[in-house]
Each structure stands twice: as C-alpha cells, then as structure tokens.
Structure 1
Amino acid sequence: MAVGERFLTPGDWYFGRGDLQLRTVLGSCVSFVFWHPGDRLGGMTHSLLPSRLGGAKTTRRDGHYIDDALYLSLRAMARHGSDPRGYRIHLYGGGSMFPGVPSTPAASIGQRNVEAARALLAAYGLRCDKTHVEGIGHRKLILDLRTGAVSLQQATLSANSSSPDYP
C-alpha cells in the first residue's frame, strides 16, 4: 500500500491516522509529536514561538505558537474521543542556529521554545516521553501514522556555515 507524505512548514500542524508520513525540518522551532498506540492516532506540530507577542488575544489559533499548537492538538484528540494521557508525547527541536554568536534573546529562541513547550505540557498535566532538543543545528523529523514510528536525523552547523551537514 502506498504511503502519502505531508510536509509541515512553520506554523503547520496535523492530527489524524492513516497511511501517511508527517515530515518536517526544525531549527530553533519545536515540534510536539503525539502517538496513541491503542487508538492508532497521531500528530505533529511545527511552532516558531512560545506565544503571541505580548499575549495578544485572538479568536484564530494556529500552529505558529507553541501554546496554540498544543491547544489545537488537544482539541483534535477530544474530537476523536481520545484521552490525551494515553499518548506518547515527544518534543523535538529548539536548536541554536547561530553557533559562535554570543547569547542574546534572539540567539536563544530555541532554548525559550523548549522551556515554553515543557512548561505547557506540565500545565496540562501531560508527560513527555522523549526529547531531542537544543544543541546546534537542524533536525529532520518523520512520524509514520501507520505505526507511530519516529525517524530523526540531526545535522550540525559549523561556526562559519549556515548550511546543515546531515550524516
């Protein structure tokens, strides 16, 4: 049986089941990956920032913000009648994209994203089963919605290059 693919760009999120592989590439952005082995449901997010600037209120939520992406994923679980506590939850990304640059708020966005994601999971009473976060460079991430298998490749950046070097 052929397997479809869906590539998540920054701000995208997907939740569901079927013959589909979800793929993304992360730098300082973070992804939640969800898999429920009993319900055979899963999902992935690709978020750029912890929350809207200054906590701006809006009726439209999207995956650009970690808090919105988690909220939308939890709503999708509820629509499927699936208990969030039954999911294997992984957190990926939050890499430093500027090796050799002194730490500034802009340079540490990856770390801030990881801290926000962890705090949100704790606030919702959810356990993170696996993390691969921070460090230097990009990550290629794949979730197979048929099996829940996650594939990860990390590429490093050298101080004089912005191009990732995958193994």
Structure 2
Amino acid sequence: MKILNSKFYYSQSSLRAYERCPKMFKYLYIDGISGITKPEIQEKIELGIDFHTLAERYFIGMEDYFYVKDTKLLNWMKILKEHFSKNLKYKSEFEIKQDKDGIFMMAKYDLLVEEGDKIRIIDFKTNEKEYNLNLLEDNMQTKVYMFLLGENIK
C-alpha cells in the first residue's frame, strides 16, 4: 500500500473524490489504482486536453493552430476569441500551491482575467453537461479556487 507522502497537495478533484466516496479517494490517491476509461470517454477527455492546449497557446500569443482539422475544436477557438480580446491581462493554466499549517493545497486555473482590481476565474468546460449556476457556488472546485486565490493573490 502506498502512503500519501508528506507533500501531497490536495486539489479540488481529490477533495471531491473524498467527498463523494472515501474508498474511491483511497484507491486513487493512496493506492494509486485507477479505473479503465471507455474509449468514447477517453476521446472526449483528449478533445478537452487539446482545447486547453490551444487556449493556452492563444493567451500567450501563439495562434498557430492551422493544423487543427477538428471542427468542434475550431468552433470552440472561434468562440474563445470572440469572448476574450487581447486587451486584458491573462494568466493561462496558472497554478497555485499552498502549504498552510501543514495542509498542502493546490489549484490549476484554466484562465485568470485581470480587470483592474478584480480577477475573474474562468474554467473551460468542454463536456456537454449543462451546469446549474446556483449549484456552482457550492461546488468543491469553486470553493478551492476562490479560497486559494483569495489567500495567495493580493
């Protein structure tokens, strides 16, 4: 059995796994056992990863995705460009790690948008699930992202 090392950083996904099912948390994060992903699910995961990569490249000024043939990806990039002009300050794929009182936490933000003295957190969702905005306030990801940002960005 693996034991969490002293530098295990809890993320929103690990905390959500524990919240849903402590045994699943143990399998994933202590024992290092992961399940088998169905091919159709893996394909969607890879599409999401590709989009995140293209979005990150867009925000650092590398719009070289001429090689992309997937119409869904191209459409997502078109929408992204329409919503996010180059006039603002962005931090793409920004990571915060914190050690406070021996508790290690981390978050990786898809995008932080600096607008004057405010920071907007953008989390790209590439699945087809509809989200209830009222439920998002109580979501583990929202709580962890807001907490770590508030603690570390002044």
Q: What TM bracket, shorter-length normalisation?
A: under 0.3
TM-score (norm 2): 0.24
Choose 1 or 2 for highest CA Rg.
2
TM-score (norm 1): 0.23
Structure with greater helix percent:
2
